[in-house]
Amino acid sequence: MEYLINSDIVIRLLAALILGFLLGLERELTNKYAGLRTHILVCLGACVFTIISIYGFPTFADGDNIIVDNATGVRDTARVAAQIVTGIGFIGAGTVLRNGPMVIGLTTAATLWMSASIGMACGVGRFDIALYATILSVAVLTLIRIFERRILPSGIKRSKRFKITIYCDRDETEKIQEYLASIVENMLDFSAKRLIENPEKAKISTTFELSHKKIMNEIYKKITEICSPDSVTMQELND
């Protein structure tokens, strides 16, 4: 059987690539674990599997009742595509991280799941569904964040999680721990490990919650006053 370039198939693949790019762009700009390449490949892969599910398994005869060499005798177009829904869970699970009571990455996992559904829509040629789903997904990821930060009353806003990593002298770890415990709202964990290459130095890692991001500037300034750290890394932990 000869296979020629099918413009309709090419359009479906390009649509999946473009829409996967748009969905992954938001994750990339917000510095999440799964960004552009991951979302593009998930969307494109779902599209390919859907196309194969539709056209890759011919019955015993084609439309002209001619026997097809690689015919399977089965015509279940949902057989392969249905596995995408469950299979994408393995990739999504890889973006979900848990550290004690803290769980991050759920939103990124959901966008990967959404990216697969958009790819499937492109695979069956329903570009309208794929486009609307992409627009709504990007709107949810961007507009809801603005709504949470600017419109919701501060009293019902959830606390933000932050992580600080500090490299400093070992004898300064206790002072840093006491200060952080006095200013943060909920310290989820705190660890101070001696550096193998320099036993006089320590690596401090702590995760905590704050209601306002602006306090982080005060924390950074105070830490540099308490001690003379070799380096201080601060990171906001979001989905």
Q: Does residue 61 have a pLDDT over 50?
A: no
- Given phi > 0 = left and psi -120 to 50 = alpha, else beta, which region is 198? beta
Alpha carbons 162 and 188: distance in angstroms, whole number: 10
Summarised one tens digit per residue, pLDDT across range 126-177 is 999 999 999 999 898 888 877 766 776 554 456 677 888 888 888 888 888 8
> What are the domain boundaries of the chain?
7-151, 156-237
Per the DSSP assignment, residues forming a β-bridge with 97 are: 104
pTM for this prediction: 0.60
Per-residue pLDDT, 229: 81
pLDDT tens digits for range 25-60: 888 887 676 778 888 999 999 999 888 888 776 665
CATH of 156-237, one of 3.40.50.970, 3.40.50.12500, 3.40.50.720, 3.30.70.260: 3.30.70.260
Farthest-apart Cα atoms in the chain, separation:
84
